[in-house]
Amino acid sequence: MNAQKKVAFYTLGCKLNFAETSTISRSFKEEGFKRVDFEEKADMYVINTCSVTDNADKRFKTIVRKALKQNDQAFVIAVGCYAQLQPEELAAVDGVDLVLGATEKFKVTEYLNGLSKNDLGEIHACEIEAADFYVSSYAIGDRTRAFLKVQDGCDYKCTYCTIPMARGISRSDRLENVLEKAEDISRKDIKEIVLTGVNIGDYGKGEFGNKKHEHTFLELVQALDKVPGIQRLRISSIEPNLLKNETIDFIATSNSFVPHFHIPLQSGSDKLLGLMKRRYRREIYTNRVEAIKQCMPDACIGVDVIVGFPGESEEDFLETYRYLSELNIAYLHVFTYSERPNTEAIEMENAVPQKVRNKRSKMLRGLSVKKRNAFYESQLQNELTVLFEGENKGGYIHGFTENYVKVKAPWNPQLVNTLHKIRLTEIDRDGVVRFDWLKVPTFV
């Protein structure tokens, strides 16, 4: 009966969500569904939600309306973090038929029999304590890279964060499963794998259903570096207290891992880090950056930072701004603090006015542009390797070097998913780098 049915997917949030959407989509394929683009008419629309920011919550209703505009009789299914945290809220949205929580989302096709359009969506969401098992996932995007999930959940208790309530305890994929997935990806001629998870530096915990570490993150990195056929391995994000010097030293001399690190900071004020219940202070963060730059001077380092957290005074913010200005980093991901239900931070005093939050966010975004330009300037005349991506943007093809410098060339479909040695020459008005070929491809 399902042979002719069509299903479309929309993913909000992080790379981990994209990996899990791919796993969910494969379960539909096994049931005979045909996957189509979200902009096309489908029988079912699956929306993988996020609840890290308030904006992601608000976008959900817009996406539901977009689906029903294609087919007002389609079934709309919500899964993911927001679906676990606020299932009743999602179920009440006009047009939503099914809401599945953290464990149920991977069994979505089991809930389809007898599903009918009703005024209120059907909810299946367990207590988050039941999310204690692991589901392997990976996603392939734009034909050039894959996002490989190695870990899920988090045991940290950061006062602003809902992720532990949405995804449960920290748990890891078995090392042999990760290596098997990496080998699968390499056989598909994918040039780059990005390791993803909620707290990947905690890898090894819960690998065999227990709390102890069977393997460490360093052991995972060392094992993946031996997988044949993988050109590049990239770490998506890792906590500074879990990024050990031994790991940094190994990556500096590895076969496949690239010199690119994304390390959450959240605040340059030790006072704020304490209020956030982060597991490090600024000195540790500084040491990690210095350790990376000592053995990989051209490494790209990205930073997550939150502005407007309760209790952040003007001096606290300026302390963060000055610290980041002086730090040898390449770019910032700036998050404006938003109140999240059932977190400690929502009960804290001295809330920062929204206008002040927005002003501080704008200042840090401006600083990010300066840091990225300075990093790009430092890379001019360097000889690097670019991996070209698959999209034609205004007549140009873009790609990234191993240390995450974005470059562009005139569009040529034969360049897609190919690696080339280049010399960086200049930064254009769009902040993208132009280059000279060290060896011009025969098809250019």
**pLDDT, tens digit, 9 for 90 and up, residues 151-184:** 999 999 999 999 899 899 999 999 999 999 999 9
Confidence of residue 53 (pLDDT cuts 50, 70, 90): low
* Token couple for 317: 């913010």
Residue 3 confidence (pLDDT) above 60 = no
Provide the 3-class DSSP secondary structure of residue 270: helix
Residue 1 confidence (pLDDT) above 50 = no
pLDDT at 57: 62
pLDDT at 119: 72
pLDDT at 362: 98
pTM: predicted TM-score of the whole model, two decimal places: 0.91
Cα–Cα dist 261/128, whole Å: 31
Residue type, 73: Q
Which CATH number describes the domain made up of 132-258? 3.30.750.210
Confidence of residue 137 (pLDDT cuts 50, 70, 90): confident
Domains in the chain: boundaries: 2-126, 132-258, 261-278+291-376, 383-437
Residue 337 confidence (pLDDT) above 80 = yes
Q: Which of 10-19, 211-220, 289-298 has the highest mean pLDDT?
A: 289-298
Mean pLDDT of 220-237: 95
Mean pLDDT of 55-61: 75
Judge whether 261-278+291-376 and 383-437 match in fold. Answer: no
Mean pLDDT of 11-19: 86
Cα–Cα dist 179/274, whole Å: 37
Percent pLDDT > 70 in the chain is 95
State the average pLDDT for the chain: 92
Sheet holding 145-149, edge to edge: 138-141, 145-149, 192-196, 232-235
Residue 56 confidence (pLDDT) above 80 = no
Mean pLDDT of 366-382: 98
pLDDT at 141: 64
Between 405 and 104, name the one with better pLDDT: 405
The least confident of 5-19, 274-288, 354-368 is 5-19
Which of 184, 294, 269 has its CA nearest to residue 230? 184
Instruction: State how far the alpha carbon of 247 is from the alpha carbons of 163, 179, 218, 261, 347, in Å.
Output: 26, 18, 5, 12, 38
Residue 45 confidence (pLDDT) above 90 = yes
Percent pLDDT > 90 in the chain is 74
Residue 224 confidence (pLDDT) above 50 = yes
Which of 249, 246, 311 has its CA nearest to residue 277? 311
Name the CA dihedral angle for 198, 292, 373, 411, rounded to a multiple of 10 degrees.
Answer: -70
pLDDT at 139: 83
pLDDT at 103: 83
Q: What is the DSSP letter of 352?
A: P
Mean pLDDT of 350-375: 98
Residue 2 confidence (pLDDT) above 60 = no
Mean pLDDT of 363-392: 96
Mean pLDDT of 113-127: 77
pLDDT digits (tens, 9 = 90+) for 68-90: 999 999 999 999 898 898 889 89
The fold adopted by the segment(s) 383-437 is: OB fold (Dihydrolipoamide Acetyltransferase, E2P) (2.40.50)
Residue 364 confidence (pLDDT) above 60 = yes
Residue 353 makes CB contacts below 8 A (sequence gap 6+) with none
Confidence of residue 143 (pLDDT cuts 50, 70, 90): low
The fold adopted by the segment(s) 261-278+291-376 is: Transcription Regulator spoIIAA (3.30.750)
pLDDT digits (tens, 9 = 90+) for 268-306: 999 999 999 999 999 999 999 999 999 999 999 999 999
pLDDT at 129: 67
Residue 25 confidence (pLDDT) above 50 = yes
Tell me the CATH class for 2-126.
alpha beta
Provide the 3-class DSSP secondary structure of residue 272: helix
